[in-house]
Structure 1
Amino acid sequence: MPRTATTSDVFNAIAEPRRREIIDVLIDGQEWAVGDVVARLQLAQPAVSKHLGVLRKVGVVTVVKRGQHRMYRLDGEKLKAVHDWVKTYERFWTHQIDRIKERAEQKAMERIARENESPKDGSKTNR
């Protein structure tokens, strides 16, 4: 089965870890030149430009030309579809975290109860 093009939608575009790193750089809302992103991530300029091109095609970043530089800015609104989709699954990990917390509290109570048990001679144990 052929793989879906990375420029088909936001989900495919951000599936690439390097693109998510670029989004993390652009998160401050400021305009960034390609060279600045290259320096920040220590990646090759052609790779950064290619990734920015994919993000631009799906609308996650915008680009304007300022002199000889192309300046990129994050359009966070385009990531809302990802947020909304992931949010539907939040109850699963929230439930798991609650279960982990309950189990940890139960284990702590059991440990305290064991530490406070008296030996047969009636004295308390010190662990």
Structure 2
Amino acid sequence: MSDNNQERDVFDAIADPTRRRLIQLLAQTEELPLHELTAQFQMGRTAVSKHLTILKEAGLVLDRKVGRETLFRLNATPLREVQDWVAFYSKFWSMNMLRLNQLIEEDEL
């Protein structure tokens, strides 16, 4: 987990397909209320709210009250940790594929 005082690991938060879908929905708009997010799933408000809480604990979702409604928005900054991790392994596989191609070419000679 990174040093920005997150309560939950970002990788844990994005491990669930429902939470990844919530992130995708929030990435497509500025803010969405809970009832609009819930309409995208075959589950109740309480279940969606629990998923949003996990995303909030990881710093991926921010919320604000507007009257009686809570609006949710994406904070993609913590996803940089995931991007950095994937980039490391992308480089790892690229280097290994390059070595494999070199071995194949040497073997063909």
Q: Shorter-normalised TM-score: what interval?
A: 0.7 to 0.9
Measure how far apart 1:42 and its partner are: 3.6
- Asked whether the equivalents of residues 8 and 54 of structure 2 are also in contact (C-alpha less than 8 Å), the reply is no
- Asked whether the equivalents of residues 34 and 71 of structure 2 are also in contact (C-alpha less than 8 Å), the reply is yes
CA distance in 1, matches of 2:32, 2:78: 18
Match of 1:66 in 2: 66
Q: CA RMSD in A?
A: 2.0
Q: TM-score, normalised by structure 1?
A: 0.64
Measure how far apart 1:44 and its partner are: 1.7
Q: How many residues align?
A: 91
Structure 1 gaps, min length 5 = 1-6, 100-127
CA distance in 1, matches of 2:26, 2:94: 28
By relative contact order (CA 8 Å, sep 6+), the higher-ranking structure is 2
Structure ID, larger Rg: 1
Q: TM-score, normalised by structure 2?
A: 0.74
Counterpart residue type for residue 31 of structure 2: E
Percent identity among equivalent residues? 36
CA distance in 1, matches of 2:25, 2:43: 13
Q: Which runs of 4+ in 1 moved over 2 A?
A: 40-43, 93-96
